[in-house]
């Protein structure tokens, strides 16, 4: 913004309190009334002189008003102040104002005392309402006496909507449905009779906005996204007539803001950014604007857009990495989540497949979030995805020296994979609404699109051992991602799986294709010559579908544990899992094994912190 620490012009830091936005605020001045200038013909002389006199009187009056307005001193608007709201340890997310603006409910994670909390604005203590770490999306009843929320994994499976007294007490379940990983965002209607939520009929058949009647416990489907779209994060307008929500895709990274009448109808699209929206939107009290968090400008920050459409405008006085905004009913206060995350890439050298040579080493890479590493065929270099504003692909020597940026696409370039000869790199990039596969010649040149399946999300490229094919996953023509492969020299893609599959790797003997699934844990394999798939690893703990790597005699995978994470090895011959290294930090995204099997690269979250910030004098 052009500020200097010793002479700030826009933001001043308040010790132990936050910061204050002190930029100048312009006030419009009253316009000068203009004198009448009409010309009248065939009027009597007397009438003409009366008209002239009236003109002179109006002119003199206008001059007086102009001089008064010019000399009038307009009071300055109070400065915008931003300060932390709750002083609890842990990750604080999803704040929401009570209807009177005196309290805020929020979610606390990253501590043994996780759950839903409330705090009084200006107070120092917080009240814990729930003790389940899977509770999320709190919303207040209009009278401020209750708080509703989601509980994931209700009774071991499914998802429930529950309500608890705002002063603490017994919970009551309002709704139970199937577990849906994309369901998020919950809002109470102004009249207190309806809860808007996102959910679906089954785990993997879509997500839409529904309305739950608190009068008769019936539900009504409000939106009907296409099979490849998902709707979530609903927010009622102040008068309850309209619901704002986010529409995205299963593959992520493409999200925009919509509104729909609460009585039903065709949704209206308000934004055309095709980028991440962080958290639920919130309405201004007059119902004219919607404030939301978006990465449309790079890092996540707050924006506002008119309900009638137009270009979103940045919210003044709010920093970056801001999400989940909520505006008080009076409109003069705003709360939001301000986050910080640092993800590192670690290198672990191995004695053999089950034993390390020592502790992992943190690679000294550029600032930001670094993840999804990939070894070069000779093991002398590695590529990775780095996020600082936009997501770009970088490469470094094996000791993290000589780092260079390979792409400058100002978007979501990621998941790099070296070709077997080391001359090319395949990666995924989202130029518009769909993810596509691109190729980059490492000797120079610009990335080029690899034709795959138009009209679908195509991602997760990997190479065949001979370098003639590229495997990828696509959501074309079905509910699940399926694995395909396309010849590098041109030709139609060939479908490999029928029951779902992502992130494929050929076996060393090129007889089998190993892969994970988006909707289920474990590792599968299928003969490349044709045949039925077989699950080879079904007990992988809390392993994500993107955090595994194939070795000659087994599979490495990263596992989430109650406190931290672990790097494990599953032996094909014995069927047993060996833990190689543990950590008090959670796994990040990405795992790679060198071609000689002597080194492993993986991502780990070094620091994750979120605080709730209160904006005073918001406007």
pLDDT tens per residue across span 196-223: 999 886 655 679 999 999 999 999 999 9
Nearest to 321 by CA among 334, 302, 296: 302
Specify the 3-state DSSP secondary structure of 59.
Answer: helix
21 compared with 161, residue with greater pLDDT? 161
pLDDT tens profile 259-278: 999 999 999 999 988 788 99
**Higher-scoring residue by pLDDT: 207, 251:** 207
Reported as a pLDDT band with limits 50, 70 and 90, residue 41 is: very low
**Which pLDDT score, from 0 to 100, does residue 31 have?**
36
- Over residues 132-150, mean pLDDT: 96
CB 161 within 8 A of CB 173: yes
Beta pairing partners, 417 = 426
pLDDT at 70 over 50: no
Residue 60: strand, helix, or coil: helix
Residues 6+ apart with CB under 8 A from 187: 139, 195, 196, 197, 234, 235, 236, 243, 280
Q: How confident is the model at residue 64 (pLDDT cuts 50, 70, 90)?
A: very low
36 versus 300: the higher-pLDDT residue is: 300
Q: Tell me which range, 81-85, 129-133, 537-541, 608-612, is most confidently predicted by mean pLDDT.
A: 129-133
Coil/strand/helix, residue 45: helix
Residue 149, pLDDT above cutoff 80? yes
Pairing of strands 146-152, 159-165: antiparallel
d(CA 213, CA 196) in angstroms, rounded, equals 9
Residue 226 is predicted with a pLDDT of: 83
Q: What is the mean pLDDT of residues 354-372?
A: 88
Residue 576, both tokens = 């047993």
Total residue length of the chain: 619
| 112 Cβ neighbours under 8 A, 6+ residues apart | none
Phi, psi dihedrals of residue 48, rounded to the nearest 5°: -65, -45
pLDDT band for position 80 (50/70/90)?
Answer: confident
131 class by beta-carbon count within 10 Å (0-12 exposed, 13-18 middle, 19+ buried):
exposed
In this predicted structure, what is the pLDDT of residue 50? 38
Which carries the bigger pLDDT value, residue 330 or residue 148?
Answer: 148
Q: What is the pLDDT of residue 73?
A: 52
Mean pLDDT estimate for the chain: 84
Q: Mean pLDDT across the stretch 56-78?
A: 50
Please tell me the number of Cα atoms within 13 Å of 372 on its side-chain side.
23
Has residue 66 got a pLDDT over 60? Answer: no
Lowest mean pLDDT among 47-51, 448-452, 578-582: 47-51
SS (H, E, C) 339-408: EEEEEEEEEEEEEECCEECCCCEECCCCCCEEEEEEECCCCCEEEEEEEECEEEEEEEECCCCCCEECCC
pLDDT at position 253, please? 63
| Structure confidence at residue 609 (pLDDT) | 82
pLDDT for the residue numbered 613: 92
Residue 43 has pLDDT above 70, yes or no: no
CA–CA dist 88, 105 (Å, integer): 13
Query: What is the pLDDT confidence band of residue 251, given thresholds at 50, 70 and 90?
Result: low
Determine the Cα angle at 62 with ends 58 and 63, to 5°: 120
pLDDT of residue 28: 32
The answer to which of 157-166, 200-209, 343-352, 547-556 has the lowest mean pLDDT is 200-209
Q: Is the pLDDT of residue 479 over 80?
A: no
In angstroms, how far apart are the furthest CA atoms of the chain?
116
CA distance 366 to 477: 40
Percent of all residues in the chain with a pLDDT value above 90, rounded to a whole number: 61
Which long-range contacts does 554-563 make (Cβ < 8 Å, 24+ apart)? Answer: 554/353, 555/514, 555/523, 556/580, 556/591, 556/593, 556/600, 557/523, 557/591, 558/587, 558/591, 558/602, 559/587, 560/586, 560/587
Would you give the end-to-end CA distance of the chain in angstroms?
Answer: 20
Number of helices (H), then strands (E), belonging to the chain: the values are 1, 49
Residue 317 has a pLDDT of 80
Cα dihedral: 126, 127, 132, 134 (round 10): -50
- State the average pLDDT over residues 479-504: 91
- What pLDDT is recorded for position 154? 67
Least Cα distance to 413 among 384, 442, 441, 433 occurs for 384
Tokens found for residue 316: 């003044």
Strands 424-429, 414-418: pairing is: antiparallel
Contact 117, 105 (CB under 8 A): yes
Q: What angle (nearest 5°) sits at the alpha carbon of residue 162, between those of residues 160 and 168?
A: 150
If pLDDT is split at 50, 70 and 90, which confidence band does 541 have?
Answer: low
**Please, are residues 77 and 25 in contact by the beta-carbon 8 Å criterion?**
yes
Mean pLDDT of 612-617: 92
Q: What dihedral angle (degrees, nearest 10) is formed by the CA atoms of 431, 272, 305, 189? A: -110
Q: What is the pLDDT of residue 528?
A: 93
Residue of 361, 379, 325, 401 whose CA lies nearest to 615: 325
Q: How far is it, in rounded angstroms, from Cα 567 to Cα 556?
A: 7
Higher per-residue confidence, 409 vs 118: 118
């Amino acid at each position: 913004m052009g500020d200097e620490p010793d002479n700030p012009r826009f933001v001043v830091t308040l010790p132990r309190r936050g910061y204050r936005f002190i930029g100048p605020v312009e006030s419009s001045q009253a316009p000068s009334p203009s004198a009448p200038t009409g010309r009248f013909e065939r009027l009597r002389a007397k009438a003409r002189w009366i008209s002239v006199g009236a003109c002179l009187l109006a002119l003199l009056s206008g001059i007086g008003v102009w001089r008064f307005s010019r000399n009038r001193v307009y009071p300055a608007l109070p400065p915008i102040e931003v300060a932390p709201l709750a002083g609890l340890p842990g990750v604080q997310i999803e704040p929401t104002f009570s209807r009177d603006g005196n309290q805020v409910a929020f979610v606390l994670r990253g501590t043994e005392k996780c759950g839903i909390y409330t705090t009084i604005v200006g107070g120092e203590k917080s009240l814990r309402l729930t003790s389940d770490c899977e509770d999320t999306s709190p919303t207040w009843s209009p009278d401020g006496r209750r708080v509703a929320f989601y509980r994931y994994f209700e009774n071991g499976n499914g998802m429930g909507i529950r309500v608890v007294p705002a002063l603490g007490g017994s919970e009551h379940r309002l709704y139970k449905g199937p577990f849906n990983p994309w369901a998020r965002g919950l809002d109470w209607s102004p009249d207190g009779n309806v809860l808007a939520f996102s959910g679906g009929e089954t785990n993997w058949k879509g997500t839409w906005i529904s309305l739950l009647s608190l009068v008769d416990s019936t539900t009504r489907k409000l939106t009907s996204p296409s099979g490849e779209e998902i709707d979530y994060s609903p927010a009622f307008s102040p008068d309850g007539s309209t619901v704002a929500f986010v529409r995205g895709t299963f593959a992520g990274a493409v999200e925009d803001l919509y509104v729909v009448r609460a009585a039903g109808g065709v949704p209206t699209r308000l934004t055309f950014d095709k980028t991440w929206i962080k958290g639920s939107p919130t309405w201004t009290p007059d119902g004219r604007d919607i404030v939301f968090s978006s990465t449309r400008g790079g890092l996540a920050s707050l924006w506002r857009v008119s309900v009638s459409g137009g270009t979103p405008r940045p919210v003044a006085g709010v920093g970056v990495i801001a999400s989940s905004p909520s505006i008080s009913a009076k409109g003069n206060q705003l709360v939001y989540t301000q986050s910080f995350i640092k993800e590192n890439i670690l290198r672990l050298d191995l004695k053999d497949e089950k034993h390390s040579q020592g502790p992992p080493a943190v690679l000294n890479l550029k600032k930001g979030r670094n993840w999804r590493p990939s070894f070069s065929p000779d093991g002398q270099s590695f590529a990775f995805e780095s996020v600082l504003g936009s997501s770009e692909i970088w490469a470094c020597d094996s000791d993290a020296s000589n780092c260079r940026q390979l792409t400058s696409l100002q978007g979501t370039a990621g998941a790099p994979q070296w070709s077997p000869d080391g001359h090319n790199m395949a990666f995924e990039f989202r130029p518009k609404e769909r993810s596509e596969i691109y190729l980059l010649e490492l000797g120079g040149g610009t990335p080029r699109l690899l034709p795959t399946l138009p009209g679908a999300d195509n991602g997760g490229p990997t190479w065949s051992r001979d370098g003639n094919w590229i495997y990828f996953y696509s959501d074309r023509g079905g509910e699940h991602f399926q694995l395909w492969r396309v010849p590098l020299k041109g030709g139609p893609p060939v479908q490999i799986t029928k029951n779902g599959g992502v992130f494929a790797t050929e076996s060393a003997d090129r007889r089998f294709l190993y892969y994970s699934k988006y909707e289920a844990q474990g590792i599968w394999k299928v003969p490349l010559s044709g045949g039925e798939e077989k699950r080879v690893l079904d007990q992988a703990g809390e392993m994500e579908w993107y955090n595994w790597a194939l070795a000659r005699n087994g599979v490495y995978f990263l596992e989430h544990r109650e406190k931290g994470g672990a790097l494990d090895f599953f032996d094909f011959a014995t069927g047993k899992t060996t833990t190689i290294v543990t950590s008090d930090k959670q796994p990040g995204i990405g795992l790679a094994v060198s071609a000689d099997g002597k080194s492993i690269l993986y991502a780990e979250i070094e620091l994750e912190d979120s605080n709730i910030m209160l904006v005073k004098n918001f406007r």
